[in-house]
Structure 1
Amino acid sequence: MAAANVSRKVVQKVLAIETAEGAGARVRRSIGSAGLRNLTPFLMLDHFHVSKGAGFPDHPHRGQATVTYMLEGSSRHEDSAGHAGTIETGGVQWMCAGKGIIHAEMPVHAPGVPEPRGLQLWVDLPKQYKLVEPSYQELAPEGVPTAYPDGPDGPVSVRVISGKSHGVESPVRPLGGCWFFHVRMAKAGSTFSQEIPAGWTSFIYIWKGAVNVGEGGSRCEAFNTLVLSADQAQSGVDVQAAEDGVEFVLVAGEPLDQSVVQYGPFVMTTHEEIEKTISDYRRGQNGFEKAHSWKSKIGN
Protein backbone atom coordinates (compact mmCIF):
# COMPACT_ATOMS: atom_id res chain seq x y z
CA MET A 1 0.00 0.00 0.00
CA ALA A 2 1.32 3.44 -0.85
CA ALA A 3 1.76 5.94 1.94
CA ALA A 4 -1.35 7.90 2.82
CA ASN A 5 -1.68 10.95 0.56
CA VAL A 6 -2.47 13.17 3.53
CA SER A 7 -1.68 11.77 6.96
CA ARG A 8 -3.62 12.44 10.09
CA LYS A 9 -1.72 14.10 12.90
CA VAL A 10 -1.80 13.99 16.69
CA VAL A 11 -4.31 16.48 18.10
CA GLN A 12 -4.28 15.27 21.71
CA LYS A 13 -1.85 13.20 23.77
CA VAL A 14 -2.97 11.58 27.02
CA LEU A 15 -0.52 9.76 29.28
CA ALA A 16 -2.12 6.72 30.93
CA ILE A 17 -0.94 6.69 34.55
CA GLU A 18 -0.89 3.30 36.25
CA THR A 19 -3.29 3.11 39.19
CA ALA A 20 -4.70 0.38 41.44
CA GLU A 21 -8.04 -1.15 40.45
CA GLY A 22 -9.62 -3.45 42.99
CA ALA A 23 -7.33 -5.83 44.88
CA GLY A 24 -4.13 -6.58 42.99
CA ALA A 25 -4.96 -5.21 39.56
CA ARG A 26 -3.03 -2.30 38.01
CA VAL A 27 -4.62 -0.32 35.20
CA ARG A 28 -3.46 2.44 32.86
CA ARG A 29 -6.67 4.17 31.70
CA SER A 30 -6.68 6.84 29.01
CA ILE A 31 -10.07 6.91 27.29
CA GLY A 32 -12.62 7.14 30.07
CA SER A 33 -10.29 9.14 32.34
CA ALA A 34 -10.74 12.79 33.29
CA GLY A 35 -8.34 13.81 30.51
CA LEU A 36 -10.27 11.99 27.77
CA ARG A 37 -13.77 11.24 28.97
CA ASN A 38 -15.38 10.02 25.73
CA LEU A 39 -14.06 9.64 22.20
CA THR A 40 -17.05 8.41 20.23
CA PRO A 41 -17.61 5.53 19.67
CA PHE A 42 -14.95 4.63 22.26
CA LEU A 43 -15.87 4.74 25.95
CA MET A 44 -12.86 3.32 27.75
CA LEU A 45 -9.36 1.97 27.13
CA ASP A 46 -7.57 0.10 29.91
CA HIS A 47 -4.07 -1.37 29.75
CA PHE A 48 -4.31 -3.87 32.61
CA HIS A 49 -1.93 -6.01 34.67
CA VAL A 50 -3.57 -8.52 37.01
CA SER A 51 -1.53 -9.98 39.88
CA LYS A 52 -2.22 -13.27 41.62
CA GLY A 53 -5.37 -13.20 43.72
CA ALA A 54 -6.90 -10.32 41.76
CA GLY A 55 -9.53 -10.31 39.05
CA PHE A 56 -12.93 -9.07 37.99
CA PRO A 57 -15.64 -11.32 39.47
CA ASP A 58 -19.32 -11.36 38.49
CA HIS A 59 -20.55 -8.03 37.12
CA PRO A 60 -23.19 -6.92 34.58
CA HIS A 61 -23.08 -5.01 31.30
CA ARG A 62 -25.64 -3.46 28.96
CA GLY A 63 -25.36 -1.28 25.85
CA GLN A 64 -21.72 -1.66 24.84
CA ALA A 65 -19.17 -4.05 23.37
CA THR A 66 -16.09 -4.98 25.38
CA VAL A 67 -12.97 -6.00 23.46
CA THR A 68 -10.29 -7.88 25.43
CA TYR A 69 -6.91 -8.44 23.78
CA MET A 70 -4.27 -10.38 25.71
CA LEU A 71 -0.68 -9.12 25.39
CA GLU A 72 0.84 -11.56 27.90
CA GLY A 73 -0.50 -14.46 29.92
CA SER A 74 -4.12 -15.56 29.72
CA SER A 75 -7.50 -14.83 31.26
CA ARG A 76 -10.59 -16.97 31.83
CA HIS A 77 -14.16 -15.79 31.34
CA GLU A 78 -17.61 -17.12 32.17
CA ASP A 79 -21.09 -15.63 31.76
CA SER A 80 -24.75 -16.01 32.63
CA ALA A 81 -25.59 -17.24 29.11
CA GLY A 82 -23.47 -20.36 29.58
CA HIS A 83 -20.40 -19.15 27.67
CA ALA A 84 -16.95 -19.89 29.13
CA GLY A 85 -13.38 -20.10 27.90
CA THR A 86 -9.85 -18.79 28.07
CA ILE A 87 -8.23 -15.92 26.13
CA GLU A 88 -4.58 -16.80 25.49
CA THR A 89 -1.70 -14.45 24.68
CA GLY A 90 -2.48 -12.85 21.31
CA GLY A 91 -6.14 -13.88 21.43
CA VAL A 92 -9.14 -11.58 21.40
CA GLN A 93 -12.68 -11.66 22.73
CA TRP A 94 -15.22 -9.25 21.22
CA MET A 95 -18.24 -9.38 23.51
CA CYS A 96 -21.43 -7.55 22.55
CA ALA A 97 -23.27 -7.10 25.84
CA GLY A 98 -26.44 -5.93 24.10
CA LYS A 99 -29.50 -5.97 26.33
CA GLY A 100 -27.70 -7.52 29.25
CA ILE A 101 -25.23 -10.10 30.48
CA ILE A 102 -23.42 -10.93 33.71
CA HIS A 103 -19.88 -12.23 33.45
CA ALA A 104 -16.61 -12.77 35.28
CA GLU A 105 -13.05 -12.21 34.02
CA MET A 106 -10.33 -13.89 36.05
CA PRO A 107 -6.60 -14.18 35.36
CA VAL A 108 -4.73 -17.44 34.97
CA HIS A 109 -1.63 -17.73 37.16
CA ALA A 110 0.88 -20.58 37.05
CA PRO A 111 4.60 -21.02 37.81
CA GLY A 112 6.79 -19.76 34.99
CA VAL A 113 3.88 -18.17 33.13
CA PRO A 114 3.75 -14.38 32.59
CA GLU A 115 1.21 -12.49 34.67
CA PRO A 116 -1.81 -11.48 32.59
CA ARG A 117 -1.48 -8.17 30.79
CA GLY A 118 -3.72 -6.87 28.07
CA LEU A 119 -5.98 -4.20 26.70
CA GLN A 120 -9.69 -3.80 27.21
CA LEU A 121 -11.59 -1.40 24.98
CA TRP A 122 -15.23 -0.47 25.49
CA VAL A 123 -17.04 0.45 22.27
CA ASP A 124 -20.43 2.14 22.37
CA LEU A 125 -23.16 0.33 20.46
CA PRO A 126 -25.29 2.28 17.97
CA LYS A 127 -28.62 2.96 19.69
CA GLN A 128 -30.49 0.56 17.39
CA TYR A 129 -28.30 -2.28 18.71
CA LYS A 130 -28.40 -1.43 22.42
CA LEU A 131 -30.92 -4.16 23.22
CA VAL A 132 -29.81 -6.96 20.89
CA GLU A 133 -29.12 -10.44 22.22
CA PRO A 134 -25.60 -10.74 23.69
CA SER A 135 -23.03 -12.35 21.41
CA TYR A 136 -19.34 -13.23 21.20
CA GLN A 137 -16.74 -13.19 18.48
CA GLU A 138 -13.52 -14.82 19.62
CA LEU A 139 -10.22 -15.44 17.87
CA ALA A 140 -7.50 -17.71 19.22
CA PRO A 141 -3.96 -16.35 18.74
CA GLU A 142 -3.48 -18.35 15.55
CA GLY A 143 -6.84 -17.11 14.25
CA VAL A 144 -5.83 -13.44 14.18
CA PRO A 145 -4.64 -12.76 10.59
CA THR A 146 -1.38 -10.86 10.07
CA ALA A 147 -0.42 -8.39 7.33
CA TYR A 148 3.19 -7.71 6.31
CA PRO A 149 3.26 -4.34 4.51
CA ASP A 150 6.91 -4.83 3.42
CA GLY A 151 6.75 -8.61 3.04
CA PRO A 152 7.22 -11.37 5.64
CA ASP A 153 10.89 -10.43 6.11
CA GLY A 154 10.14 -6.73 6.50
CA PRO A 155 10.33 -4.77 9.77
CA VAL A 156 6.57 -4.22 10.15
CA SER A 157 3.78 -6.66 11.00
CA VAL A 158 0.10 -5.88 11.58
CA ARG A 159 -2.19 -8.22 13.52
CA VAL A 160 -5.65 -7.48 12.13
CA ILE A 161 -8.01 -7.88 15.10
CA SER A 162 -10.87 -6.23 13.21
CA GLY A 163 -11.12 -4.36 9.91
CA LYS A 164 -8.65 -4.64 7.05
CA SER A 165 -5.03 -3.69 6.51
CA HIS A 166 -2.78 -4.17 3.49
CA GLY A 167 -5.12 -6.67 1.84
CA VAL A 168 -5.72 -8.71 5.02
CA GLU A 169 -9.17 -8.73 6.65
CA SER A 170 -10.31 -9.99 10.06
CA PRO A 171 -13.33 -12.30 10.35
CA VAL A 172 -14.63 -10.20 13.28
CA ARG A 173 -17.77 -8.22 12.36
CA PRO A 174 -18.58 -5.55 14.97
CA LEU A 175 -21.99 -3.87 15.25
CA GLY A 176 -20.89 -0.43 14.04
CA GLY A 177 -17.66 0.33 12.19
CA CYS A 178 -14.50 -0.43 14.18
CA TRP A 179 -10.97 -1.32 13.05
CA PHE A 180 -8.38 -2.58 15.54
CA PHE A 181 -4.73 -3.28 14.62
CA HIS A 182 -1.73 -4.40 16.67
CA VAL A 183 1.35 -3.01 14.93
CA ARG A 184 4.93 -4.16 15.56
CA MET A 185 7.86 -2.18 14.11
CA ALA A 186 11.18 -3.94 14.64
CA LYS A 187 13.62 -1.25 13.47
CA ALA A 188 14.00 2.45 14.18
CA GLY A 189 13.19 4.46 11.07
CA SER A 190 10.79 1.89 9.64
CA THR A 191 7.46 3.28 8.46
CA PHE A 192 3.85 2.12 8.49
CA SER A 193 0.92 3.62 6.60
CA GLN A 194 -2.73 2.74 7.11
CA GLU A 195 -5.81 3.94 5.29
CA ILE A 196 -8.67 5.03 7.58
CA PRO A 197 -12.23 5.80 6.43
CA ALA A 198 -12.81 9.54 6.15
CA GLY A 199 -14.32 11.12 9.25
CA TRP A 200 -13.74 8.12 11.51
CA THR A 201 -12.41 8.67 15.03
CA SER A 202 -8.95 7.16 15.45
CA PHE A 203 -6.23 6.83 18.08
CA ILE A 204 -2.92 5.10 18.76
CA TYR A 205 -1.92 3.60 22.11
CA ILE A 206 1.80 2.80 22.52
CA TRP A 207 3.15 0.35 25.09
CA LYS A 208 6.66 -0.27 23.73
CA GLY A 209 9.06 2.25 22.25
CA ALA A 210 8.24 5.59 20.64
CA VAL A 211 6.86 6.85 17.32
CA ASN A 212 6.47 9.93 15.16
CA VAL A 213 3.05 10.42 13.56
CA GLY A 214 2.45 12.36 10.33
CA GLU A 215 4.78 14.76 8.60
CA GLY A 216 6.98 16.59 11.10
CA GLY A 217 5.32 14.92 14.07
CA SER A 218 7.14 15.05 17.41
CA ARG A 219 8.29 11.96 19.28
CA CYS A 220 5.54 10.21 21.28
CA GLU A 221 6.54 7.78 24.03
CA ALA A 222 5.08 4.61 25.51
CA PHE A 223 1.86 4.63 27.56
CA ASN A 224 0.47 7.61 25.66
CA THR A 225 -2.83 7.55 23.81
CA LEU A 226 -2.58 9.71 20.70
CA VAL A 227 -5.89 11.06 19.40
CA LEU A 228 -5.63 11.63 15.66
CA SER A 229 -7.18 14.37 13.56
CA ALA A 230 -10.27 13.55 11.49
CA ASP A 231 -10.15 16.01 8.60
CA GLN A 232 -12.16 14.71 5.63
CA ALA A 233 -9.15 15.28 3.36
CA GLN A 234 -6.90 13.04 5.46
CA SER A 235 -6.93 9.58 3.92
CA GLY A 236 -5.02 7.69 6.59
CA VAL A 237 -2.06 7.86 8.93
CA ASP A 238 1.72 7.54 8.54
CA VAL A 239 3.77 6.31 11.51
CA GLN A 240 7.56 6.12 11.84
CA ALA A 241 9.34 4.08 14.53
CA ALA A 242 11.57 6.33 16.64
CA GLU A 243 13.45 3.34 18.08
CA ASP A 244 13.72 -0.44 17.75
CA GLY A 245 11.01 -2.75 19.03
CA VAL A 246 7.95 -0.51 18.85
CA GLU A 247 4.49 -1.92 19.58
CA PHE A 248 1.17 -0.09 19.55
CA VAL A 249 -2.48 -0.45 18.64
CA LEU A 250 -4.16 1.69 16.02
CA VAL A 251 -7.93 1.80 16.50
CA ALA A 252 -10.51 3.59 14.36
CA GLY A 253 -14.28 3.72 14.61
CA GLU A 254 -17.31 5.33 13.03
CA PRO A 255 -18.47 8.17 15.33
CA LEU A 256 -22.00 7.91 16.69
CA ASP A 257 -24.45 10.81 16.62
CA GLN A 258 -26.02 9.95 19.96
CA SER A 259 -25.76 10.89 23.61
CA VAL A 260 -23.74 8.81 26.06
CA VAL A 261 -25.35 8.29 29.45
CA GLN A 262 -23.28 5.90 31.53
CA TYR A 263 -23.85 4.39 34.94
CA GLY A 264 -20.90 2.12 35.66
CA PRO A 265 -21.19 -0.89 33.32
CA PHE A 266 -24.47 0.33 31.78
CA VAL A 267 -24.24 2.59 28.72
CA MET A 268 -27.41 3.99 27.15
CA THR A 269 -28.48 7.21 25.41
CA THR A 270 -30.92 8.75 27.93
CA HIS A 271 -31.28 8.97 31.71
CA GLU A 272 -34.66 7.24 31.40
CA GLU A 273 -32.97 4.26 29.69
CA ILE A 274 -30.43 4.07 32.50
CA GLU A 275 -33.21 4.12 35.11
CA LYS A 276 -34.96 1.33 33.17
CA THR A 277 -31.70 -0.64 33.04
CA ILE A 278 -31.18 -0.35 36.79
CA SER A 279 -34.78 -1.43 37.34
CA ASP A 280 -34.35 -4.39 34.97
CA TYR A 281 -31.22 -5.48 36.79
CA ARG A 282 -32.82 -5.20 40.22
CA ARG A 283 -35.95 -7.03 39.05
CA GLY A 284 -34.02 -9.65 37.07
CA GLN A 285 -35.76 -9.05 33.74
CA ASN A 286 -35.20 -8.01 30.11
CA GLY A 287 -31.77 -9.58 29.78
CA PHE A 288 -30.96 -9.84 33.49
CA GLU A 289 -33.14 -12.85 34.31
CA LYS A 290 -30.22 -14.60 36.06
CA ALA A 291 -28.95 -11.52 37.89
CA HIS A 292 -29.82 -12.90 41.32
CA SER A 293 -29.49 -16.63 40.74
CA TRP A 294 -26.36 -17.10 38.58
CA LYS A 295 -22.91 -17.31 40.13
CA SER A 296 -19.77 -17.97 38.10
CA LYS A 297 -17.42 -20.78 39.04
CA ILE A 298 -14.28 -18.76 38.31
CA GLY A 299 -15.34 -15.61 40.17
CA ASN A 300 -16.51 -17.32 43.36
Structure 2
Amino acid sequence: DYIGGFPPHPHRGFETVTYMLAGRMRHGDNKGNRGDLAPGSVQWMTAARGIVHEEMPQQEQGLMWGFQLWVNLPAAHKMDDPAYQDIAPERIPEVRRADGVRARVVAGSFAGDDGRPVQGPVHARPTEPVYLDITVPAGQVFDWTAPPGHTVLVHGIEGECSVGVDAAALRPHRMAILRGGEDASVLRVQAASTPARFLVIAGKPLHEPVAHYGPFVMNTREELMQAVQDYQAGRF
Protein backbone atom coordinates (compact mmCIF):
# COMPACT_ATOMS: atom_id res chain seq x y z
CA ASP A 1 0.00 0.00 0.00
CA TYR A 2 2.97 2.35 0.41
CA ILE A 3 4.17 2.20 -3.21
CA GLY A 4 2.35 5.43 -4.15
CA GLY A 5 4.17 7.31 -1.41
CA PHE A 6 3.30 10.90 -0.62
CA PRO A 7 3.65 13.08 -3.76
CA PRO A 8 4.24 16.86 -3.44
CA HIS A 9 1.91 18.50 -0.92
CA PRO A 10 2.04 21.67 1.23
CA HIS A 11 2.28 22.40 4.96
CA ARG A 12 2.15 25.55 7.06
CA GLY A 13 2.20 26.38 10.77
CA PHE A 14 3.84 23.35 12.39
CA GLU A 15 6.69 20.82 12.30
CA THR A 16 6.67 17.21 11.09
CA VAL A 17 8.84 14.59 12.78
CA THR A 18 9.35 11.31 10.92
CA TYR A 19 11.11 8.43 12.69
CA MET A 20 11.87 5.34 10.60
CA LEU A 21 12.14 1.88 12.13
CA ALA A 22 12.25 -0.12 8.89
CA GLY A 23 12.27 0.65 5.17
CA ARG A 24 13.57 3.62 3.21
CA MET A 25 11.94 6.87 2.08
CA ARG A 26 13.32 9.78 0.06
CA HIS A 27 12.51 13.37 1.02
CA GLY A 28 12.48 16.32 -1.36
CA ASP A 29 11.03 19.84 -1.03
CA ASN A 30 10.72 23.13 -2.88
CA LYS A 31 13.46 24.71 -0.74
CA GLY A 32 16.09 22.44 -2.25
CA ASN A 33 16.37 20.01 0.66
CA ARG A 34 16.94 16.32 -0.06
CA GLY A 35 17.17 13.46 2.41
CA ASP A 36 17.23 9.68 2.64
CA LEU A 37 15.19 8.26 5.51
CA ALA A 38 16.83 4.96 6.49
CA PRO A 39 16.05 2.66 9.45
CA GLY A 40 16.82 4.48 12.70
CA SER A 41 16.93 7.93 11.10
CA VAL A 42 14.82 11.01 11.81
CA GLN A 43 13.58 13.86 9.65
CA TRP A 44 12.60 17.02 11.54
CA MET A 45 10.96 19.43 9.10
CA THR A 46 9.77 22.89 10.14
CA ALA A 47 7.07 23.93 7.69
CA ALA A 48 6.51 27.31 9.40
CA ARG A 49 5.28 29.85 6.80
CA GLY A 50 5.13 27.26 4.06
CA ILE A 51 6.84 24.35 2.35
CA VAL A 52 5.91 21.85 -0.36
CA HIS A 53 7.51 18.43 0.07
CA GLU A 54 7.25 14.80 -0.95
CA GLU A 55 8.11 11.50 0.73
CA MET A 56 8.58 8.64 -1.74
CA PRO A 57 9.40 4.98 -0.95
CA GLN A 58 12.77 3.61 -2.04
CA GLN A 59 11.59 -0.01 -2.09
CA GLU A 60 8.85 -2.04 -3.75
CA GLN A 61 8.50 -4.79 -1.17
CA GLY A 62 9.33 -5.52 2.44
CA LEU A 63 8.39 -3.82 5.69
CA MET A 64 7.89 -0.05 5.82
CA TRP A 65 7.51 1.00 9.46
CA GLY A 66 7.80 4.29 11.25
CA PHE A 67 6.07 7.18 12.96
CA GLN A 68 5.19 10.72 11.95
CA LEU A 69 4.38 13.31 14.60
CA TRP A 70 3.01 16.80 13.97
CA VAL A 71 4.39 19.37 16.42
CA ASN A 72 2.42 22.60 16.57
CA LEU A 73 4.25 25.93 16.49
CA PRO A 74 3.25 28.91 18.64
CA ALA A 75 1.68 31.86 16.85
CA ALA A 76 4.92 33.84 17.13
CA HIS A 77 6.78 31.21 15.07
CA LYS A 78 4.18 30.03 12.55
CA MET A 79 5.52 32.40 9.88
CA ASP A 80 9.22 31.72 10.47
CA ASP A 81 11.37 30.53 7.58
CA PRO A 82 11.05 26.80 6.81
CA ALA A 83 13.86 24.50 7.95
CA TYR A 84 14.89 20.88 7.50
CA GLN A 85 17.05 18.50 9.54
CA ASP A 86 18.05 15.10 8.14
CA ILE A 87 19.37 13.14 11.13
CA ALA A 88 21.26 9.93 10.36
CA PRO A 89 21.06 7.00 12.84
CA GLU A 90 24.64 7.47 14.03
CA ARG A 91 23.83 11.03 15.15
CA ILE A 92 21.21 9.81 17.62
CA PRO A 93 22.90 8.93 20.93
CA GLU A 94 21.92 5.79 22.81
CA VAL A 95 22.10 5.66 26.61
CA ARG A 96 22.47 2.22 28.22
CA ARG A 97 21.87 1.87 31.95
CA ALA A 98 23.01 -0.87 34.30
CA ASP A 99 19.40 -2.06 34.77
CA GLY A 100 19.20 -2.84 31.05
CA VAL A 101 17.13 0.19 30.04
CA ARG A 102 18.16 1.63 26.66
CA ALA A 103 17.18 5.07 25.38
CA ARG A 104 17.73 6.58 21.93
CA VAL A 105 17.60 10.35 22.43
CA VAL A 106 16.14 12.20 19.43
CA ALA A 107 15.12 15.41 21.19
CA GLY A 108 15.58 16.72 24.70
CA SER A 109 17.90 14.83 27.02
CA PHE A 110 18.14 11.63 29.04
CA ALA A 111 20.50 10.82 31.92
CA GLY A 112 22.46 7.61 32.32
CA ASP A 113 23.64 5.98 35.55
CA ASP A 114 26.13 8.80 36.16
CA GLY A 115 23.33 11.37 36.20
CA ARG A 116 24.75 13.34 33.30
CA PRO A 117 22.12 14.30 30.71
CA VAL A 118 22.80 13.16 27.15
CA GLN A 119 21.44 15.68 24.64
CA GLY A 120 19.70 14.60 21.46
CA PRO A 121 20.45 16.23 18.09
CA VAL A 122 17.19 18.23 18.13
CA HIS A 123 17.02 21.07 20.63
CA ALA A 124 16.12 24.76 21.02
CA ARG A 125 12.64 24.24 19.54
CA PRO A 126 9.72 26.47 20.67
CA THR A 127 7.78 23.62 22.33
CA GLU A 128 10.87 22.28 24.17
CA PRO A 129 10.17 18.75 22.87
CA VAL A 130 11.45 15.47 24.27
CA TYR A 131 11.50 12.43 21.97
CA LEU A 132 12.87 9.15 23.37
CA ASP A 133 12.84 5.58 22.03
CA ILE A 134 12.91 3.41 25.17
CA THR A 135 13.50 -0.33 25.60
CA VAL A 136 12.93 -1.89 29.04
CA PRO A 137 13.89 -5.51 29.92
CA ALA A 138 11.17 -7.92 31.02
CA GLY A 139 9.84 -7.09 34.48
CA GLN A 140 11.97 -3.96 34.85
CA VAL A 141 10.68 -0.52 35.81
CA PHE A 142 11.42 2.69 33.93
CA ASP A 143 11.07 5.95 35.88
CA TRP A 144 11.47 9.33 34.20
CA THR A 145 10.75 12.87 35.36
CA ALA A 146 9.19 15.08 32.69
CA PRO A 147 9.98 18.79 32.46
CA PRO A 148 7.52 20.77 34.62
CA GLY A 149 4.19 21.41 32.92
CA HIS A 150 4.87 19.23 29.88
CA THR A 151 2.27 16.92 28.41
CA VAL A 152 3.67 13.39 28.05
CA LEU A 153 2.69 10.73 25.51
CA VAL A 154 3.72 7.07 25.72
CA HIS A 155 3.23 5.06 22.51
CA GLY A 156 3.71 1.30 22.54
CA ILE A 157 5.96 -0.23 19.87
CA GLU A 158 6.69 -3.81 20.99
CA GLY A 159 5.79 -5.88 24.04
CA GLU A 160 3.34 -5.04 26.80
CA CYS A 161 3.79 -2.79 29.81
CA SER A 162 1.89 -0.88 32.47
CA VAL A 163 1.92 2.92 32.70
CA GLY A 164 1.43 5.32 35.61
CA VAL A 165 0.41 4.89 39.22
CA ASP A 166 -2.75 3.11 38.10
CA ALA A 167 -0.67 0.59 36.11
CA ALA A 168 -2.80 1.04 33.00
CA ALA A 169 -2.04 -1.63 30.39
CA LEU A 170 -0.28 -0.41 27.25
CA ARG A 171 0.03 -2.59 24.16
CA PRO A 172 1.70 -1.95 20.80
CA HIS A 173 -0.05 0.67 18.65
CA ARG A 174 -1.76 2.17 21.72
CA MET A 175 -0.99 5.45 23.48
CA ALA A 176 -1.22 6.81 27.02
CA ILE A 177 -1.41 10.56 27.72
CA LEU A 178 -0.18 12.17 30.95
CA ARG A 179 -0.87 15.85 31.49
CA GLY A 180 1.53 17.57 33.88
CA GLY A 181 0.88 20.53 36.12
CA GLU A 182 3.23 22.97 37.75
CA ASP A 183 5.03 20.09 39.47
CA ALA A 184 7.13 17.76 37.37
CA SER A 185 5.33 14.55 36.44
CA VAL A 186 7.09 11.27 37.16
CA LEU A 187 6.40 8.70 34.48
CA ARG A 188 6.60 5.06 35.57
CA VAL A 189 6.47 2.23 33.04
CA GLN A 190 6.92 -1.43 33.94
CA ALA A 191 7.54 -4.07 31.30
CA ALA A 192 5.48 -7.26 31.49
CA SER A 193 6.93 -10.75 31.05
CA THR A 194 8.73 -9.76 27.83
CA PRO A 195 10.83 -6.69 26.98
CA ALA A 196 8.84 -3.57 26.13
CA ARG A 197 9.72 -0.87 23.62
CA PHE A 198 7.87 2.43 23.48
CA LEU A 199 8.19 6.10 22.55
CA VAL A 200 8.17 8.79 25.23
CA ILE A 201 7.21 12.14 23.71
CA ALA A 202 6.75 15.33 25.72
CA GLY A 203 6.20 18.98 24.92
CA LYS A 204 5.20 22.31 26.40
CA PRO A 205 1.48 23.11 25.92
CA LEU A 206 0.95 26.30 23.92
CA HIS A 207 -2.43 27.33 25.39
CA GLU A 208 -3.40 28.95 22.07
CA PRO A 209 -6.41 28.44 19.80
CA VAL A 210 -5.93 25.80 17.11
CA ALA A 211 -7.46 26.00 13.64
CA HIS A 212 -6.60 23.19 11.24
CA TYR A 213 -7.55 22.29 7.70
CA GLY A 214 -5.85 19.47 5.83
CA PRO A 215 -2.10 20.19 5.83
CA PHE A 216 -2.35 23.57 7.58
CA VAL A 217 -2.37 24.26 11.34
CA MET A 218 -2.93 27.88 12.33
CA ASN A 219 -4.70 29.88 15.06
CA THR A 220 -7.70 31.30 13.20
CA ARG A 221 -9.97 30.46 10.27
CA GLU A 222 -8.78 33.60 8.52
CA GLU A 223 -5.18 32.38 8.72
CA LEU A 224 -6.24 29.06 7.20
CA MET A 225 -7.93 30.83 4.30
CA GLN A 226 -4.78 32.90 3.77
CA ALA A 227 -2.68 29.72 3.76
CA VAL A 228 -4.85 28.19 1.03
CA GLN A 229 -4.68 31.39 -1.03
CA ASP A 230 -0.90 31.65 -0.63
CA TYR A 231 -0.40 28.03 -1.69
CA GLN A 232 -2.67 28.37 -4.71
CA ALA A 233 -0.82 31.56 -5.71
CA GLY A 234 2.57 29.82 -5.51
CA ARG A 235 3.78 31.82 -2.52
CA PHE A 236 5.06 28.82 -0.52
TM-score class, shorter:
over 0.9
1:243 shift after superposition: 2.9
Q: Partner residue of 1:118? A: 66
Match of 2:225 among 256, 275, 279: 275
Q: Partner residue of 1:156? A: 101
* Aligned-partner Cα distance in 1 for 2:66–2:178: 22
Given the alignment of the two structures, is residue 227 of structure 1 paired with residue 172 of structure 2, yes or no?
Answer: no
1:231 shift after superposition: 3.6
1:193 shift after superposition: 1.5
2:14–2:46 CA contact under 8 A, matched in 1: yes
Bigger RCO (CA 8 Å, 6+ sep):
1
Given the alignment of the two structures, is residue 261 of structure 1 paired with residue 211 of structure 2, yes or no?
Answer: yes
Q: Partner residue of 1:138? A: 86
2:127–2:205 CA contact under 8 A, matched in 1: no
1:60 shift after superposition: 0.3
Letter of the structure 2 residue corresponding to residue 139 of structure 1: I
Q: Deviations over 1:224-250 (max 9, x none)?
A: 110114243343211111132311100
Where 1:128 maps in the other structure, the secondary structure is: helix
* Aligned-partner Cα distance in 2 for 1:177–1:233: 17
1:115 shift after superposition: 2.3
1:118 shift after superposition: 0.3
* Aligned-partner Cα distance in 1 for 2:223–2:231: 12
Q: Deviations over 1:100-131 (max 9, x none)?
A: 010000112156xx422100000000111101
Change (3 A) 1:216 1:276: closer
Structure 1, unaligned stretches of length 5 or more?
1-23, 25-49, 289-300
Q: Partner residue of 2:187? A: 237
Identity percentage of aligned residues: 38
* Aligned-partner Cα distance in 1 for 2:193–2:75: 42
Q: Deviations over 1:190-214 (max 9, x none)?
A: 1212121111111100021111123
Q: Partner residue of 2:59? A: 109
Which stretch shows the higher mean deviation, 165-174 or 97-106?
165-174
1:70 shift after superposition: 0.1
Q: What are the residue-to-residue correspondences of 1:1-300 with 2, within 5 Å?
A: 24=1, 50=2, 53-109=3-59, 114-150=62-98, 154-166=99-111, 167-173=117-123, 174-185=125-136, 187-285=137-235, 288=236
* Aligned-partner Cα distance in 2 for 1:129–1:240: 38
Q: Deviations over 1:41-66 (max 9, x none)?
A: xxxxxxxxx3xx22111100000100
* Aligned-partner Cα distance in 2 for 1:117–1:269: 32
1:197–1:236 CA contact under 8 A, matched in 2: no
1:199–1:232 CA contact under 8 A, matched in 2: yes
The count of corresponding residues between Structure 1 and Structure 2 is 230
Give the TM-score normalised by the residue count of structure 2.
Answer: 0.92
Which stretch shows the higher mean deviation, 167-176 or 69-78?
167-176
Q: Partner residue of 1:13? A: none
Where 1:90 maps in the other structure, the secondary structure is: coil
Structure 2, unaligned stretches of length 5 or more?
112-116
1:219–1:242 CA contact under 8 A, matched in 2: no
Where 2:90 maps in the other structure, the secondary structure is: helix
1:159 shift after superposition: 0.3
* Aligned-partner Cα distance in 2 for 1:80–1:71: 26
Give the TM-score normalised by the residue count of structure 1.
Answer: 0.73
CA-based RMSD of the aligned residues comes to 1.5
Which stretch shows the higher mean deviation, 219-228 or 84-93?
219-228
